[in-house]
């Protein structure tokens, strides 16, 4: 089983540049979860990658030395994020110098016993040695001077910090088989479904939201195929979160999604499709994971209620029309067996290998059937396509002026690729590469005959 991504927590006083550094560290991913319902207030979760090393970053709220503020809900949440992290990036402001608030935060961080790296931000334009000497008083051996806004020192810092991180292997893990993450809001029946699938009480279940505190990996085999079921803690909206330990179980759910091949999203049919459900599904699709949707507690609904839920699914989740939907009862087992067919198809679609000649022929047929629009009087030319990755499938198309393609045409290509390649349950990403013009910047030198012709034409134009 592959290791979960390391978690880096950014902490420090307000306005020291935590959010700016967060954006720098997550710049390799366009899937950024910020202020999502179900996550705690003023928090940002992001994913970054450097080389083969991937990591999760948490941007926390600002901490101050005000005694009232240090005990506020935001401060408590920030310290809980520190407890969840593998490494702590403690940011200070080089322009402000060492302040009493920095010392208090440092004393508290030191008590965690976790690796702490002091990040001296906004170093640009200052005497670096003089500034760093001031912060040596905090007693941290690991210190990095950076300018997050301009990117100075950030790459070198994260390269050193991620040196010991495990690199991810895109190939299938034969030991764990297909990894299926069960996600959803609390009390929708995730652990009950896990027990039903496993056929035994492997996961503690109670009729009380928030029983599962961490992600649990459960290997099993079905019809000769190996699986690993990942039962995650529920993600609930902020108004319902009372226990501090539950506030950051969400990071485990996000890790499980990133570590899975297929996500089994559980919805509560009795509550319909909530805003939190849509937000969590949005994170799954942004992560590129294959998706199967199970609408649980279906057996207890009247026909009118069932029709209402179906309408909500069509209205609130139109962006996941590729995901198979199943109406089940985890408690009684109805419809549960049908989930595995969809999980297997979604996994095979996500991990598909598509030969380049086949992709190029298909792309050519799609372009001939519906040519790209004209851009400044010239037709966008798409020359060839090849596969650029798996889980999700990435199709790279090379051509000219591809940056000018409208989003509607890109959606046409994505939907058509999915239809003709029979990909079910997985998002498909299409990337465009525009080749460099070999004649760009070169002035065409006219021959003597062309120069003479041009002069004759100019004389004729002047006479008119």
pLDDT tens column, 429-464: 999 988 765 556 667 778 888 888 888 888 776 665
- The pLDDT assigned to 272 comes to 84
- What number is the average pLDDT over the span 224-242? 65
- What number is the average pLDDT over the span 270-280? 84
- Write down the mean pLDDT value for the chain: 79
- The pLDDT assigned to 237 comes to 45
Is residue 344 over pLDDT 50?
yes
- pLDDT band with cut points at 50, 70 and 90 for residue 65: low
Q: What are the phi and psi torsion angles at 327 (to 5°)?
A: -105, 115
- The pLDDT assigned to 214 comes to 53
Residue ranges and CATH numbers for the domains of the chain are: 7-161 (3.40.50.300), 178-350 (3.40.50.300), 352-464 (3.30.300.20)
Peptide bond into 168 cis (omega under 30): no
Is residue 168 over pLDDT 60?
no
pTM of the model: 0.62
Q: Dmax of the chain from CA atoms?
A: 97
Buried b / exposed e over 117-156, threshold 16 CB at 10 Å, is: bbbbbbbbebeeeebbeebeebebeeebbbbbeeeebbee
- pLDDT band with cut points at 50, 70 and 90 for residue 211: very low
Q: pLDDT tens for residues 6-43?
A: 888 898 888 888 888 888 887 644 323 333 333 334 45
Is residue 369 over pLDDT 60?
yes
Is residue 202 over pLDDT 70?
no
Note whether 11 and 105 are within 8 A (CB): yes
Least confident of 33-47, 229-243, 322-336, 422-436: 33-47
The residue ranking higher by pLDDT, 87 or 35, is 87
- The pLDDT assigned to 38 comes to 31
Is residue 277 over pLDDT 70?
yes
- The pLDDT assigned to 419 comes to 92
Integer distance in angstroms from the first to the last C-alpha of the chain?
81
Least confident of 26-35, 209-218, 264-273: 26-35
For strand 374-375 and strand 378-379, is the pairing parallel, antiparallel, or unpaired? antiparallel
- The pLDDT assigned to 314 comes to 87
How far is it, in rounded angstroms, from Cα 201 to Cα 73? 36
Is residue 358 over pLDDT 60?
yes
- What number is the average pLDDT over the span 81-110? 88
- What number is the average pLDDT over the span 62-76? 58
- The pLDDT assigned to 412 comes to 93
- What number is the average pLDDT over the span 364-388? 88
What is the SS3 assignment for 178?
strand
- What number is the average pLDDT over the span 161-189? 71
What is the SS3 assignment for 259?
helix
Q: What percent of the chain has pLDDT over 70?
A: 78
What is the SS3 assignment for 169?
coil
The residue ranking higher by pLDDT, 53 or 148, is 148
Burial of 19 (C-beta count, 10 Å sphere; 0-12/13-18/19+): middle
- The pLDDT assigned to 418 comes to 92
- Name the token pair of 273: 């499709």
């Amino acid at each position: 089983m592959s290791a979960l991504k390391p978690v880096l927590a950014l902490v420090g006083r307000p306005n020291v540049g935590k959010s700016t550094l967060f954006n720098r560290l997550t710049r390799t991913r366009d899937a950024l979860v910020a202020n999502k319902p179900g996550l705690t207030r003023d928090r940002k979760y992001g994913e970054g990658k450097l080389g083969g090393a991937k990591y999760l970053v948490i941007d926390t709220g600002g901490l101050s030395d005000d005694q009232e503020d240090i005990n506020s809900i935001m401060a408590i949440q920030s310290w809980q994020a520190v407890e969840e992290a593998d490494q702590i990036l403690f940011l200070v402001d080089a322009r402000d110098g060492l302040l009493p608030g920095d010392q208090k935060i440092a004393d508290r961080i030191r008590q965690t016993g976790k690796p702490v790296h002091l990040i001296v931000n906004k170093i640009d334009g200052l005497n670096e040695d003089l500034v760093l000497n001031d912060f040596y008083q905090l007693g941290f051996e690991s210190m990095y001077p950076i300018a997050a806004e301009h990117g100075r020192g950030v790459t070198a810092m994260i390269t050193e910090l991620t040196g010991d991180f495990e690199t991810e292997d895109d190939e299938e893990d034969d030991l764990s088989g297909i990894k299926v993450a069960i996600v959803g809001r609390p009390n929708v029946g995730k652990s009950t479904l896990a027990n039903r699938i496993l056929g035994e009480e492997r996961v503690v279940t109670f009729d009380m939201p928030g029983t599962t505190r961490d992600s649990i990996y459960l290997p099993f085999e079905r019809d000769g195929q190996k699986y690993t079921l990942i039962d995650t803690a529920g993600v609930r909206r902020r108004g319902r979160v009372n226990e501090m330990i539950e506030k950051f179980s969400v990071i485990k759910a996000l890790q499980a999604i990133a570590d899975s091949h297929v996500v089994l999203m559980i919805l509560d049919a009795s509550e319909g499709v909530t805003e939190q459900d849509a937000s969590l599904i949005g994170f799954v699709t942004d992560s590129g994971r294959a998706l199967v949707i199970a609408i649980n507690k279906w057996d207890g609904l009247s026909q009118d209620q069932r029709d209402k839920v179906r309408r909500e699914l069509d209205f609130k989740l139109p962006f996941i029309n590729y995901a198979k939907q199943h109406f089940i009862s985890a408690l009684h087992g109805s419809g549960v067996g049908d989930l595995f067919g969809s999980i297997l198809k979604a996994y095979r679609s996500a991990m598909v290998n598509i030969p380049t000649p086949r992709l190029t022929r298909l792309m050519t047929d799609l372009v001939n059937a519906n040519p790209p629009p004209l851009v400044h009087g010239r037709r966008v030319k798409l020359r060839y396509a090849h596969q650029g990755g798996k889980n999700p499938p990435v199709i790279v198309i090379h051509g000219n002026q591809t940056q000018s393609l409208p989003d509607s045409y890109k959606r046409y290509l994505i939907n058509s690729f999915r239809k003709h390649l029979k990909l079910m349950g997985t998002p498909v990403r299409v990337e465009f590469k525009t080749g460099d013009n070999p004649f760009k910047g070169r002035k065409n030198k006219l021959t003597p005959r062309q120069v003479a012709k041009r002069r004759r034409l100019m004389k004729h134009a002047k006479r008119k």
